[in-house]
Amino acid sequence: MQRHGVSHVLLDIEGTTCPVSFVSDTLFPYAAEHLGSFLDEQHKDPQVQELLAEVEKAWVEDPDPEAQSIRRPGLSEGKDGVLKYLHWLIKMDRKLTPLKELQGMIWEIGYQSGELQGPLFEDVPGALRQWHAAGLQLAVYSSGSVGAQQLIYRYSSGGDLREIFRHWFDTRVGSKRDQSSYRKIAESLDVASHQILFISDTLAECEAAAASGMQVLLSIRPGNPAQAVTRFERISSFQDLELNP
Ligand SMILES: CSCCC(=O)C(=O)COP(=O)(O)O
Ligand SMILES: [Mg+2]
């Protein structure tokens, strides 16, 4: 498979460079298990306090009746109340930015202790190194925080790959399902959208990126939910992809 006119590759993580199951069955449960003790120890840290305030604000404004049903109306929720909401957000796989930042801070402990390692698909490290060596600019766009992205590539099964990536984007730039996020990314990369190739396993993300003018490939990997036929070309190994400027 060949792609022409590509100078930048923008990569999703979950379902694209690492298995969905690592996120759903390892990272999320790890964060849920350690959230309480992490907050007990770190809730006075100014950065954590700021994130908890953001979570509390999001909870007050959350239109989901289930989110409101676990609130105690009129009472200040405090650290323990917010913990309940954070567990609910993890269960629902909500991509709330302050949750993602807190998860990244918790995962750092697991990566540093050796309990966590980023299991990349076998073809990924080699292909990334090859593209980088060929002069392509590589960037990450994940709902996981930039901190969490850098951890997965620092402690990856293919070694420390952080140097290979030039740019990192998370939900601070916007939702991965919004066209405007991809426009902002192209602006920030200072390149025409059609020179960016975005690869993701999520159709809504592919649609949003394509609508912004990016080139798109749909990632098909073991463990990804089955995909109906779509207009997007599919990729199941990065080794199959030849990129030309
Ligand atoms: C950076 S690894 C953790 C990924 C994560 O928290 C997540 O919600 C998955 O997001 P993605 O956009 O990579 O599908
Ligand atoms: Mg994904």
Q: What is the pLDDT of residues 210-244, one digit of tens each?
A: 999 999 999 999 999 877 888 999 999 999 999 97
Q: What is the pLDDT of residue 244?
A: 79
ipTM: 0.95
DSSP state of 194: G
168: β partners: 140
pLDDT band at 40 (very low <50, low <70, confident <90, very high): very high
Residue 14 · residue 23 · CB < 8 Å: yes
- On whether the 2-18+118-243 domain is CATH 3.30.465.10, my answer is no
Specify the pTM.
Answer: 0.92
Query: Containing H/E element for 216?
Result: strand 215-219
pLDDT (mean) for 3-19: 97
Average pLDDT taken over every residue of the chain: 94
Give dist(CA 14, CA 144) in Å, integer.
9
Q: How far is CA 140 from the centre of its chain?
A: 8
Under CATH, to which class is 24-113 assigned?
mainly alpha
Ligand nearest to the CA of 221: 2
On the question of pLDDT at 73 being above 80, the answer is no
Rounded to the nearest whole angstrom, what is the distance from the C-alpha of residue 170 to the centroid of ligand 1?
9
Q: Ligand 1: list residues with CB < 6 Å.
A: 12-14, 23, 27, 95, 100, 142-144, 148-149, 152, 176
Residue 114 · residue 151 · CB < 8 Å: no
**How many C-beta atoms surround the C-beta of residue 167 within 10 A?**
15
Give dist(CA 49, CA 46) in Å, integer.
5
Give dist(CA 54, CA 50) in Å, integer.
6
Q: What residue spans define the domains of the chain? A: 2-18+118-243, 24-113
Q: Which long-range contacts (CB under 8 A, 24 or more apart) does 85-90 make?
A: 85/55, 85/59, 86/35, 86/55, 87/32, 87/35, 90/28, 90/31, 90/32, 90/35
On the question of pLDDT at 94 being above 80, the answer is yes
Break the chain down into helix, strand, coil percent, rounded to 5: 50, 15, 35
Q: Which of 83-97, 132-146, 156-170 has the lowest mean pLDDT?
A: 83-97
Angle between helices 97-113 and 28-42 (to 10 degrees): 90
Pocket test of ligand 1: the residue of 11, 14, 102, 198 to mutate, having most ligand atoms within 8 Å of its CB, is 14
On the question of pLDDT at 15 being above 90, the answer is yes
Q: What is the pLDDT of residue 75?
A: 55
Q: Which two tokens stand for residue 181?
A: 């996020």
On the question of pLDDT at 80 being above 80, the answer is no
Q: Which residue has the tokens 């990244």?
A: 104
Ligand nearest to the CA of 199: 2
- Percent of the chain beyond pLDDT 70? 98
Look at ligand 1, atom 2, and give the residue with the nearest C-alpha.
144
